[in-house]
Amino acid sequence: MGLFDKLAGWLGLKKKEVNVICLGLDNSGKTTIINQLKPSNAQAQDIVPTIGFSIEKFKTSSLSFTVFDMSGQGRYRNLWEHYYKEGQAIIFVIDSSDKLRMVVAKEELDTLLNHPDIKHRRIPILFFANKMDLRDALSSVKVSQLLCLENIKDKPWHICASNAVQGEGLQEGVDWLQDQIRTMRT
């Protein structure tokens, strides 16, 4: 790091960079959430199912996020684990109206938490109980019960209800994530 960069960092001009992995089943709304977090002039109009993964960047008040937006389709889920090492935080998106596949989400979450690259790291996990606006959606409390989130003892986690299409609840989650990353740095 050059002298200028350091100086800029001290003065708070240059923001710290964080790598975040965005995971969740297909059709849960990962890409829509990331799209909403981007500055409004960079947002895409049409969201299509992600193939493989895509890298997106957005900034908050103090951090610069690089998000690995992974595809949630069954055949691409084995790609997830290759990015665990680089990730400093995880965003896990759940479709709270899909009761049937809640077990699949739990299964993928358990696999994630037991992976050697994740298991012994104190890495913050942000859960979005997405699609809250739908009529048959489960509450965020019910989602955290079904996913047994209370069993996660060694990592900071937070769940918030969201509606990615309207952008509701996203800022609350990102603020929490920013606080967590800042406290871990210092």
Partner 1 sequence: MSSVPVEMKDGAVSSSKWLDAHYDPVANLYTFSSCVTLADLHGDGENKLVVGDLGTGAGNMKLKVYRGTGLLSENTLLDLPTGLVSFLMDQHEPRTPAIAVASGPFIYIYKNLRPYFKFTLPTLEINPLEQDVWNQARGDMIDPMTLKEMLEGIRDKADIPLSVRTLRFLMLEPQEMESYVNLHKEQPIRRQTVITCIATLKKNMADDDAVSCLVIGTESQDVYILDPEAFTILSKMSLPSVPTLMDVTGQFDIEFRIIVACRNGNIYILRRDSQKPKYCIELSSHPVGLVRMGKNVVVGCAQETMQSFTQKGKKLWTTYLPAPVTTMALLDLPTRGFQAVLVALANCEVHVYRDKNLVSTIKTQDVVTSICFGRYGREDGTLIMTTKGGGLIVKILKRTAVFDDRDSISGPPVAQSIRLNVPKKTKLYVDQTMRERENAVAMHRAFQMDLSRLRLAAARAYVKALESSLTPMSASLTEPLKMNAVVQGLGPSFKLTLNIQNTAACRPVMNLAISFLYDENLYSMRTAFFKIPLLVPGLNYPIDTFVECLSDKGISDIIKVFVLKEGKSTPLLTAHINMPVSEGLALN
Q: State the binding site for Mg(2+).
A: 31, 50
Question: In angstroms, rounded to a whole number, what is the distance separating the alpha carbons of residues 5 and 10?
Answer: 9
Residue of the chain from 8, 47, 113, 146 that contacts partner 1 (CB under 8 A):
146
Question: In angstroms, rounded to a whole number, what is the distance separating the alpha carbons of residues 32 and 170?
Answer: 11
For residue 77, give the nearest of 48, 40, 115 by alpha carbon.
115
Q: Which is nearer to partner 1, 54 or 97 (CB)?
A: 97
| List 36, 45, 73, 178, catalytic entry | 73
Q: Which is nearer to partner 1, 106 or 155 (CB)?
A: 106
Tell me: does residue 154 bind partner 1 (CB under 8 A): no
Q: What is the β-pairing status of strands 53-59 and 63-70?
A: antiparallel
Question: In angstroms, rounded to a whole number, what is the distance separating the alpha carbons of residues 58 and 45?
Answer: 17
Amino acid symbol at 125: I
Backbone phi and psi for residue 22, each to the nearest 5 degrees, phi listed first = -105, 115
Q: Binding to partner 1 (CB under 8 A): which residues in 54-113?
A: 74-75, 77-78, 98-104, 107-108, 111
Smallest distance, partner 1 to C-beta of residue 83, A? 17
Q: Does the annotation count 73 as an active-site position? A: yes
Amino acid symbol at 28: S
Number of residues located near partner 1, criterion CB under 8 A: 19
Q: Which is nearer to partner 1, 46 or 136 (CB)?
A: 136
Sheet holding 89-95, edge to edge: 53-59, 63-70, 16-24, 89-95, 125-130, 157-161
Annotated binding site for GTP: 24-31, 72, 130-133
Q: Which is nearer to partner 1, 17 or 107 (CB)?
A: 107
Smallest distance, partner 1 to C-beta of residue 145, A? 9
Name the site residues for partner 1 (rule: CB under 8 A). Answer: 25-27, 74-75, 77-78, 98-104, 107-108, 111, 136, 146
Active site residues: 73
